[in-house]
Amino acid sequence: MTSTYDPRMLPLAAFARSGEQLSGSTPIADLPRLYAQSVDAAHEMDAHFSVSGSERFDATGHPQVWLHASGQCQLTLECQRCLRPARVGLAFERDFRFVANEALAAVEDEASDEDVLVFARQFDLMELVEDELLMAMPLVPMHETCPEIPRFSVVDPDFDAAAPESVNPFAVLAHFKRTSPKD
């Protein structure tokens, strides 16, 4: 299906009523808050998203706007075990229901399985995708299996010259403390 919707200015009510689906991708560089998390920004590619709209009726017969949205991307984060760049997959899939104002959203979000957002005539879907991908970020990013830690090398040239065979014990300790798992 060819869609003419602009994901930055999605006409929510019409989109929901149509029941259409909108999929696409956007460069991660265009999602600045997510992009800022990358430790390898130059190599970040696209985030992919897909959203479908529906209009449902509440108990009193009032139409409600719903979106079902999903998205995913790969982002390079610093592995908290080995401190090297790790490609981490981020993904979400959620239902969103729109209400008239912030107060209603706050109350109903607590009591609902779906996320409750404030209705906007022109909705910025990319902002939502970015929010959700940020929330999908792991608190402690790590490689599933860390690449082998390279052999330690002394960086202080004076120390090197004085004792070429030894290793700076403080640097070793610092390195060990950073890479040693807590458990």
Give the footprint of Zn ion on this chain (CB under 5 A). Answer: 79, 81-82, 143, 146
With a CB cutoff of 8 Å and minimum separation 6, the contacts of 60 are none
Looking at residue 63, its amino acid is P
Give the H or E element holding residue 93: strand 85-99
C-beta of 103 vs 176, nearer to Zn ion: 176
For the CB of residue 86, give the shortest distance to Zn ion in the complex, in Å.
5
C-beta of 146 vs 154, nearer to Zn ion: 146
- Of 100, 123, 101, nearest in space to 12 by CA: 123
For the CB of residue 83, give the shortest distance to Zn ion in the complex, in Å.
7
For the CB of residue 82, give the shortest distance to Zn ion in the complex, in Å.
3
C-beta of 68 vs 143, nearer to Zn ion: 143
Q: Which residue is nearest to Zn ion (CB)?
A: 79
C-beta of 144 vs 158, nearer to Zn ion: 144
For the CB of residue 79, give the shortest distance to Zn ion in the complex, in Å.
3
72 touches 89 (CB < 8 A): yes
To 5 degrees, how large is the angle CA 71–CA 76–CA 82?
Answer: 135
